[in-house]
Structure 1
Amino acid sequence: MLSLPKKVSIIEVGPRDGLQNEKNQVPTDVKLHFIRALQDAGVGEMELTSFVSPKWVPQMGDAADIMAGAKRIGRQFVLAPNERGIANARAAGADSIAVFVGVTDAFNKKNINRTTDESMEQLTPLIQKMKEDGLFVRACISTAFHCPFEGPVDPERTVNLCKRFARLGVDELSVADTIGMATPQESELLFSRLKEELPDILMTAHFHDTRKMALANIFASLQAGVDRFDASAGGLGGCPFAPGATGNVATEDVVNMLERMDIDTGISVEGICRAVDVVASHVSRPISTGMYTLYKNAHRIG
């Protein structure tokens, strides 16, 4: 077993991944207040918004307004799926851009109507151009463990896709358990392999908590040498193209676990809970993560 890291980076994905598929239209000023509260809690890296077609994702139709109104603290990502999205993101001042591809063709076709290879062909010149221009590029790898349409994913397929992105010079890989099916053994094995074969790239683990194994998977990934994790305040999020997938692992629960293990995150659990309070009344489902529930109960008692 590898020794655990002394410090871990949390990439907050609530404002983008957490809200992107929310049924209720969250007002722009509420999103900006949410972002500010997350920053006040100590969040240094965050997914702010997504430059996608408002026709398909109305929730992200205010992306340019979010970019204009958000305070620039640390590294702030925006998601951009194609050439037009990247151009719009850059025009809005983004200097850290995330692209995404699913490991499986079936998921990719449901998501963006292309096979994995077709998506990579489209993204290759775009990534090369962004790197030439000095942008930070984050590649999000969906269905890295299991696919809702194809079932278990051979780790070799995930490793090969990650290597293709690494050859293009991306700065970071965010490797996702999109439907929350991964086990700790699978997480430790995949991330050990990725850390060994791609030691010079930032490696981030992204877990959904569909089957309540996200914290166990994070612990297994820590043992594999991972020290970067995506998380969403309040456990917000889910995937519209992955039946049964619930929200991301909750930032407040991840930070609590890590801090109690003497692993520094630089983030306040109470601060994250205050940020969740900002958005809780605007989303369509009740927020009942472990630490947020304790926070609400304590304030009720107080």
Structure 2
Amino acid sequence: MEDPKPKSMRFWEQSEKEKAEMKANGTYVPRPLEHIDLHYKYDHERFRFAQLPFRSQFWLYMKGVGKWAFIILAPITTLAHLTVMPTSVETPWDFTYDLLVNLYSWMLGIPLLCGVIGHIIVNYFPKFWFRPPKGPLWELNRRTGLVTFFDYKHFKKDGVIDEVSAPFYEFDAYIVTSPDRQGLAMNGLLLAHRYRNIRINFNNLITPDNTTQKPCALWDFLQNFMDISRPLPDIPMYEVHRHLDPVTAEHDRKTGREPRYWIDMDDDTFKTKVKEMLGRIDAIDTFGRPNLMAKHVKYVD
């Protein structure tokens, strides 16, 4: 729902216009890494997911986690320091110096150093940290109705990516519950083929949640995307593709939907729409719906 935001959509629309003008004038200079295939595809036909290799993800996490850890810990540490300092027998300067040397330099210095190093590497040395993915992990194809799993077992030896496909209607959705580092139960969505050993874990697409609402909402989204009798889900990501899907184009014509509904939306209205979506997720009724498959198959734990 929030990727891309309308503001980002307008930015890239303007960027594409400028790119077209520069190409027409013969002044266009390709952006760094622009020619690299990232193997993901989100349009009116395919929902194809790919992920950067660990080496590339490492530097991104280093930048983000280091930055936010410092931002969160700095005010907490300062408040705790000012609260405890009056009870110390040491002078304020000695008390501060001792903690700065023995505690704060580690507690705040390490996140700050990681954030700075990550920022420098990611922003100024793209050729060092960036590696494209070998290929996609999975794909849901609205046009063919197939789900494809990409297997990399033989990639190192033979350089071959095996593809296993099956119709979407042969897959069942499961809520997978696992503990986080604090032992709290976190729920994610898993798609498993009914007759073969094909499984897709969507935890890389959306992070596991402590409720079952978000995995259930993702399952609804995937079903709506694959249902060619219905229009595409009306979210910002699909706005530029809606006219290319016949069912969606006909739906938009009948309902009078504005072609630029999302891209021209102001920030406050978009925030309201996001809150409305979160409200619908919280009220989702997945487990209260009839289990139609129970009439045809027997599930064995």
User: What's the TM-score, normalizing by structure 2?
Assistant: 0.26
Greater helix percent: which structure? Answer: 2
User: What's the TM-score, normalizing by structure 1?
Assistant: 0.26
- Is the radius of gyration larger for structure 1 or structure 2? 2
Higher relative contact order (CA 8 A, sep 6+): 1
